[in-house]
Structure 1
Amino acid sequence: MAQTVFEPWNDPEAKPLIQFKGVTKRFGDFTAIDNQTFDIYEREFFALLGPSGCGKTTMMRMLAGFEKPTEGTILLGGQDMAPIPPNKRAVNMMFQSYALFPHLSVWENIAFGLKRDGKPKDVIAARVDEMLKLTRLQQFARRKPHQISGGQRQRVALARSLAKAPKLLLLDEPMGALDAKLRQATQFELMDIQEKTGTTFVIVTHDQEEAMTVASRVAVMDHGRIIQADTPANIYEMPNSVYVADFIGEVTIIPGKAHKRGNGYDIAFAEGQPTLHSETDAALDNGQTCYLALRPEKVSISAEKPADRTNTVQGRIIDIAYLGNLSTYHVQLPNGQMIKAQAANTRRLSRRDFSWEDTVWLSWTDTAAVLLKG
């Protein structure tokens, strides 16, 4: 049976769970969020991604109720959230530090919010057991936070946040304190838990790999604005700007001038260098400044000039980044332009084809690069 794709943002009938409508947030003269309008849907895993100071944490604090918009409204399930205090919202927040109570056991930490709400004992016990099972912490229930690992503490914080069954869970850099391997494992755990509970997750992170792994959609932010909000695949393959292309993953940006030819454009980028060609639906003026965004895995590297490709340039290997399963070659063209090319390391080190200072040919197909307006 074909699985239906989860894309409520493409369904005109779908009602958003969260709506930002012309939201601006100022702190004195500083504009942290600049007139933003966007939607987040139920069951989404939505990532706010961007460098420090881009406004992603302010966005999250407004959702939690710790900050109020200077202008505009934030709706949750169609209701204006401004008059609702943080503790009365169907929203919970998991902090970077986890903020667990050191003197309480794992069980008591998870039960804390339910007890405060005056829930009956049997309801609390059933819900805590359910959360322990969900986060695979049953055998640690009686331990104190200092008696368990960082990854387990993170799961306790998650279980505590989900215990009250919030409509929305906010996660502020939730994996910042974990080492790389544990972080990767935890990302998949998080996705699994989000899917099982059906809770809408909004995660703030500056780690692009994390955002691309866990999220249904990623909102790339800069200076208080969402520059592009889309699926991880579209953000990577079809960035809408040089900023997004440059922010996500490795990329070479080649500036040039576009001239219409066939079903795309010829790009003149340097004197004495061959004209490049890009097939695209983008509409550019003749002679307009443009940028080719080229991912290293889409660039082939060879000793001989390939006969069958329009886009071929020659250069010298300046640097090699060896990443185990693949190597990234930094190749400098005669005009100084650097282009990155990636090749899988299918052979042992001693059998490799290319080394530093070698002259090589780089080539790519007409559809490999994304042509962006200047």
Structure 2
Amino acid sequence: MSDAAKALEPVFEPWKDPSQKPLIRFENVTKRFGDFTAIDDLTINIYEKEFFALLGPSGCGKTTMMRMLGGFETPTEGSITIDGQDMSAVPPNKRAVNMMFQSYALFPHLSVADNIAFGLKRDKLPADQIAARVEEMLSLVQLNKFASRKPHQISGGQRQRVALARSLAKAPKLLLLDEPLGALDKKLRQDTQFELMDIQETTGTTFVIVTHDQEEAMTVASRIAVMDHGKIVQVDTPAKIYEEPGNIYVADFIGDVNLIKGKVVKSGNDHASISWAEGQQDLTGIAHDEIPHGTEATLAIRPEKVTISTDRPEGVTNALSGTVLDIAYLGNMSTYVIEAANGTLIKAQAANTRRISRRAITWEQQVWLSFTDTAGVVLTS
């Protein structure tokens, strides 16, 4: 497809279209285990062909949500519907849902092809249909030449693709992925993330992935639900969650961030300013809702949006000075930790675009930090 044709393609945002019906709907779902509430009055819609990520720390409820979708747990209260059908009385084996586990759960005595064919054979499909579908799945995950090998004769990344092919062989409406890349090393995990995205787009299957890896969720998902203590605290696209987190928890959980506390001294026109240290210039960031004067607030600003310089910057909205405490050289970029007024620590990142970069900035040096009025977000909760 040409770049021009791609540019004319509609943006995939069914959640913004009132005429679109969700494939999955959680409505006022609560799940308790004894006195413990794992899911607390949760309502959410997930749409067909989405790659939807449930993201949060251990114990936040994301795996419980997935198990309820798969039919392995039932809600204490509320309802779950898939494609308009109430799932309360539908057992796991009768749902158009497949689940792929972190362990992959491949049969060690079966070949790659027979692992993929397992569910199709249980459904007693004709042999020619099974053979055609297995060949199609092998091509999808690029494992045709490994069809006759056993799982122990292929790599971890290849086993992951076999498990994926087996999960997709029966053409489920929904595929649930429980930490599917957790067993892979970092480089392979990153490569496999893009493979997952390509396969999801090719098949058009709705994927719901559970992960605690923020980078993984940001890479693969069309939308992310950030969870905390059984509640969803924000659902949005990766870009929106990163650039405009809805609260301090989301800002702090996703990526690296500076959190500068203060009190609101001005608000309006989609911006707010905070007073954060005596004798220091007020700092301004995005705030779509007007915030009352004097409200305690936090400016969240990502390190890569903070410019570091040895000279006082001119013509910028936000500027402050401090002393360099630490420098971390990370190859593609360097991270600087600056101690500003009141002992506030602020990180700034600079890309190392040249072989010897930022040589002028060193430890214990006085520097200036600056950023625009749209670089940070002012949060009150």
Q: TM-score range by the shorter chain?
A: over 0.9
Alignment-mate amino acid for residue 244 of structure 1? V
Return the match for 2:347 from 333, 340, 343: 340
Letter in 1 for 2:71: G
Question: Partner letter of residue 230 of structure 1?
Answer: D
Shift in Å, 1:359: 1.2
1:75 to 81, 102, 125: 81
Q: After TM superposition, where is structure 1 displaced by more than 6 Å over at least 4 residues in a row?
A: none
1:208 aligned residue? 214
Distance 1:169 1:286, change over 3 A: same
- Structure 1 position 23 matched with structure 2 position 35: no
- Whole-angstrom CA distance in 2 between matches of 1:261 and 1:84: 52
Counterparts of 1:284-303 in structure 2 under 5 Å? 284-303=291-310
Cα deviation per residue 1:95-149 (whole Å; 9 max; x = unaligned)? 0000000000001100000111111111111110100000001000000000000
Tell me if 1:183 matches 2:189.
yes
Counterpart in the other structure of 2:336 = 329
Larger mean CA deviation between 26-35 and 263-272 belongs to: 263-272
Aligned partners of 1:204, 1:310: CA distance in 2, in Å?
40
> What does 1:105-116 align with in structure 2 at a 5 Å threshold?
105-116=111-122
Indicate if the aligned counterparts of 2:287 and 2:379 stay in contact, CA closer than 8 A: no
Contact 1:282 1:371 in 2 (8 A): no
* SS in structure 1 of the partner of residue 342 of structure 2: coil
Amino acid in structure 1 at the alignment position of 2:225:
A
Shift of 1:350: 7.2
SS of the residue 1:82 aligns to: coil
Aligned-residue RMSD, C-alpha: 1.2
Q: Which whole-Å CA distance do the structure 2 matches of 1:335 and 1:72 have between them?
A: 49
Partner SS for 2:165:
helix
1:131 correspondence with 2:137: yes
* 2:38 aligned residue: 32
Q: Deviations over 1:215-268 (max 9, x none)?
A: 000000000011001100100111110011111111001111002266333311
Counterpart code for 2:312: K
Map 1:202-351; keep pairs closer than 5 Å.
202-260=208-266, 263=269, 264-349=271-356
- The answer as to whether partners of 2:268 and 2:290 remain within 8 angstroms in 1 is no
1:49 matched to 2:36 = no
CA contact (8 A) 1:279 1:367 kept: yes
The one-letter code matched in structure 2 to 1:312 is A
Q: 1:65 to 1:279 in 2, by over 3 A?
A: closer
Alignment of 1:100 with 2:106, yes or no, is yes
CA distance in 1, matches of 2:31, 2:120: 33
Distance 2:122 2:215 in 1: 37
Choose 272-281 or 300-309, whichever is displaced more. Answer: 272-281
Matched residue of 2:343: which SS?
coil
Q: CA deviation at 1:349?
A: 3.7
How many Å separate the matches in 2 of 1:96 and 1:173? 5
Q: TM-score, normalised by structure 1?
A: 0.98
| Structure 2: distance between partners of 1:281 and 1:7 | 22
C-alpha distance in structure 2 between counterparts of 1:222 and 1:128, whole Å:
40
CA distance in 1, matches of 2:309, 2:179: 42
The DSSP-based 3-state class of the residue aligned with 1:297 is helix
Amino acid across the alignment from 2:214: Q
Secondary structure of the residue aligned to 2:43 is strand
Task: Please state how far the C-alpha of 1:309 moved relative to its aligned partner.
Answer: 1.5
Is the 1:25–1:70 Cα contact (8 Å) retained in structure 2?
yes
Counterparts of 1:295 and 1:157 in 2: how far apart (Å)?
Answer: 37
Q: Distance in 1 between matches of 2:256 and 2:308?
A: 16
**Which amino acid in 2 is paired with 1:173?**
E
Residue number in structure 2 paired with 1:194: 200
Whole-Å Cα distance in 2 between the matches of residues 172 and 109 of structure 1? 19
Structure 2 alignment gaps of length 5 or more: none
Which amino acid in structure 2 is aligned with residue 242 of structure 1? I
1: distance between equivalents of 2:211 and 2:16? 25
Using the size of structure 2 for normalisation, the TM-score is 0.96
| Separation in 2, partners of 1:214, 1:45 | 7
